[in-house]
Amino acid sequence: MRIPVDPPGFLAVKASKLPVYAHIDWGDCMFLQLFTGGLLLGCIYGLVAMGLSLIYGVMGIVNFAHGAFVMLAMYGSFWLYKFLGLDPVISSPLIALFMFGFGVAIYHLIIGKVLKGPFLARLLVTFGLGIFFVNLAQFLWSPDYKMVQKSITHGILMVGPIFVELPKLAASVGSLVVAGLIYWFVRKTKTGLAIQAISIDTQAAALMGINIQRLNAFAFGLGCASAGAAGAFLASFYYIFPDVGTMFGLVALVAVALGGFGSTEGALIGAIIIGIIETVGGFIVGSEYKYALIFVAYLLIVIIRPRGLLGWGAD
Amino acid sequence: MHSKQVKRLRGYVLITLVLALVLGVSGGIMAQETIKIGAVYPLTGAVATTGADCRSGVELAVDIINGVYDLDFPFAKAAGIPNLGGAKIEVIFGDTRGDPTQGMAETERLITEENVVTVVGGYQSGVVKTATMASERLQVPYVLSDATSPALTERGFKWFFRVIPHDGIQAKNALELVKDIETKEDTVLPNLAILWENTEWGANVALEIKTWAEECGFKLVADVPYTYRATDVTSEVLKLKAAKPDVIIHAAYVSDAILFTQTMKAMDIRPKVMIGMAGHLDPNYLNTVGKDGEYFFVRAVYGLDLATRKPMVEKINELYKAKYGHDMSPNAARSFTAPFVVADAINRAASTKPEDIRQALAETNIPGSDLISPYEGVKFDPVTQDNVLGRSLYLQVQDGQFRVVWPFELAAVPYVYPFPEWDR
């Protein structure tokens, strides 16, 4: 092949390079776009997963009703939007607070009592609660889909050639804020330290004068509050129906296992990894395999590092 | 101490089960002379809204058969089944939850415990596949008017009849629509992308479209399967974006149809022609996505606009509207047909024995004028037992309404082409 050295030839090379360059640029953008999508998705999963991890870490139960709590929070934000005109993003602290109270009530009414029961009951109680709430929602509000039509975060932000969906960005920022709050709370406050003590050794904590029931209820409420925040942010862009939380709950469970049971930071990191695997892996390997990829990653972690990426290992 | 707790738990479980059974029997106490028909639909779970719609269609059909209506429609003027002394039909519903295992179990329950003489419904091909295994084994006829996978009738079942045209015929119709647009607009739309949910139904739609696409000279630039319960479809949609198709054909249920529409809008995917089906017909889809659902072509076997050619469509829709408060959806209209085909067979057989009903079904010959669908009638193929007179329609969403736009000779309004900008 002749390499042109004269000026017109030089120009010709440049010209011929242009479309090639444009093509490569497009490919890079595609990857960046996928990565961004995965990161945003992961942060949203993370918000659901952190509450799940907190509850497990403190009282050793897997909250199978977590997805249902997210669903209830989504309905809550929807009704606030519909009847009071409150945007889901704005009402998210309110929903989180409400879900905190709801969680504490559920703990005192049901979970606290079952915790003293046999292992099987502890395992199944949240499972039953989840089914109950999903069916209750279907009974009360019909299986119809609901949607917040015009959220304030509605729209798209273009970062160079990358599309960033604003509602997802808001949810991700919210997720990071909640992660920060939980981190601060568990490490810096007296109640948080007591919660840590319970998760390390319940009996010793009780002997030191920590009120286990009260703090368990508090931790359960906190877990529900983060599910509530997740629901509120999701409601700003996702459709709402009784079964909506199930898949989020399931993915969150894997994120928690991946990040390490009991570690909220681990849950967030696990969720982000899942989001990226789902989006990038789904694109490269084939979208029909994207959930399979998540579970393969999970299996690998379980084999190589059974307690998860950041798990405490204590039970 | 533990065993006491276990006993108590067992007690609770028992009570729950008894309650579930009592509540599960929809009709409550019933008279003896009724003819029981089973109907299985996904009444809970991700496709519950569609299931509820299908249920309404069946309920209205049975109302018309049982009651006296001043309509020029079969079984409307007389109460019940004339040749059985006006015996009433009673439908017992089973909830498949959209799950094949559950569909089979519910069909078995309806046949063995409720003693239904025929089963209708299913909606999802994956569920119908297992549900019909139960009816075939227990030798009770199953009449399907709402699931379209061709594989269902390829198994040579003796007790299984299908009224709706299957995906092979409907796939051919989709590509005929695109070809007709090409001719009319004097353009070419060679690049085709298929997006499909990967259960039985979606996989079969995709397979049939791929087969016909090759035959019709389309180039398949993207073939994207996905899980309909997916929480996010960014990677799927970016695959479509990279392929730059002229035509996207999407086989979707309702929640995934909503999610894809939103994501395609966010990523600004804009082919010339967008074709949807099933989920895109669900009233919830348009209610949820609003204006973003406009200008999709949607595959259907029913459209309110058919009233311009079949006045009965409008009258039945009025009855439906009076009962449920909204227009009859295409999914409800599909399910509406099966009870009439069953009633017709029972009436001709003048018997409620499953074997007699089966025999009568095989001899069915209902004219197109007795249907609210665009079919030329109902007549079953002696081998596959598929309706040989079925055909599909294409609707386009315009101003929030499903308008019949294809075949052109049945069109109520002209179609809009090309698919416009998203922010409209």
Distance from CA of A133 to the nearest CA of B (A): 13
Nearest residue on chain A to B258, judged by CA atoms? A239
Tell me whether residues B238 and A121 touch, CB distance under 8 A. no
Write the residue in A165, A247, A280 that is nearest to B229 by C-beta: A247
Query: In the prediction, which pLDDT does B13 show?
Result: 54
CA distances from B59 to B54, B164, B177 (A): 9, 19, 33
Q: Give residue B28's pLDDT.
A: 35
- For residue A282, pLDDT beyond 90: no
- On the question of pLDDT at B22 being above 50, the answer is no
| pTM for this model (two decimals) | 0.72
- ipTM for the predicted complex comes to 0.74
Please report which confidence band the pLDDT of residue B189 belongs to, taking 50, 70 and 90 as the band edges: very high
pLDDT of residue B30: 39
Q: How far is CA A98 from CA A69, A109, B135, in A?
A: 11, 16, 49
Structure tokens of A151? 């959220």
**With contact defined as beta carbons under 8 Å apart, do B296 and B397 qualify?**
yes
Task: Give residue A20's pLDDT.
Answer: 36
pLDDT of residue A104: 96
Partner residues linked to B139 by β-bridges:
none
When scoring A129, A158, A241 by the number of chain B Cβ atoms within 10 A, the one with the most, hence best to mutate, is A241
Q: Percent of chain A at pLDDT above 70? A: 90
DSSP for chain A, written as a single string:
-----SHHHHHHHHHHHHHHHHHHHHHHHHHHHHHHHHHHHHHHHHHHHHHHHHHHHHH----TTHHHHHHHHHHHHHHIIIII---HHHHHHHHHHHHHHHHHHHIIIIIHHHHTS-HHHHHHHHHHHHHHHHHHHHHHH-S--B--SS-TT-SEEEETTEEEEHHHHHHHHHHHHHHHHHHHHHHHSHHHHHHHHHHH-HHHHHHTT--HHHHHHHHHHHHHHHHHHHHHHHHTTS-B-TTHHHHHHHHHHHHHHHH-TT-HHHHHHHHHHHHHIIIIIHHHH-GGGHHHHHHHHHHHHHHH-TT-SS-----
Residue A298: per-residue pLDDT: 85
Nearest to B234 among A121, A156, A279 (CB): A279
Sign of the alpha-carbon dihedral angle for A61, A247, B124, B95: positive
B56 in contact with A, Cβ within 8 Å:
no
Q: What average pLDDT does this structure show over B189-203? A: 91
d(CA B308, CA B317): 13
Apex CA B299: angle with CA B267 and CA B223, to 5°?
45
Residue B418: CB atoms within 10 A of its CB come to 15
Pick from A116-125, A155-164, B240-249: least confident: A155-164
pLDDT value of residue A305: 83
Question: Mean pLDDT of all residues in chain A?
Answer: 84
Among B13, B196, B231, pick the best mutation site for testing chain A contact (most A Cβ within 10 A).
B231
Question: Is B185 within 8 Å of B169 (Cβ atoms)?
Answer: no
Q: What share of chain B in percent tops pLDDT 90?
A: 62
Residue A286 — pLDDT band, cuts 50, 70, 90?
confident
Per-residue pLDDT tens for A43-92? 999 999 999 999 988 888 889 999 999 999 999 999 999 999 899 999 99
Single-letter code of the amino acid located at A107: Y
pLDDT at B17: 52
Q: Which residues of A touch B241 (CB under 8 A)?
A: 30
Mean pLDDT over all residues of chain B? Answer: 88
Distance CA A267, CA A271 (A): 6
Q: What mean pLDDT do residues A204-217 have?
A: 88
Contact B234 A243 (CB under 8 A): no
- Given CB atoms, is B17 within the 8 Å cutoff of chain A? no
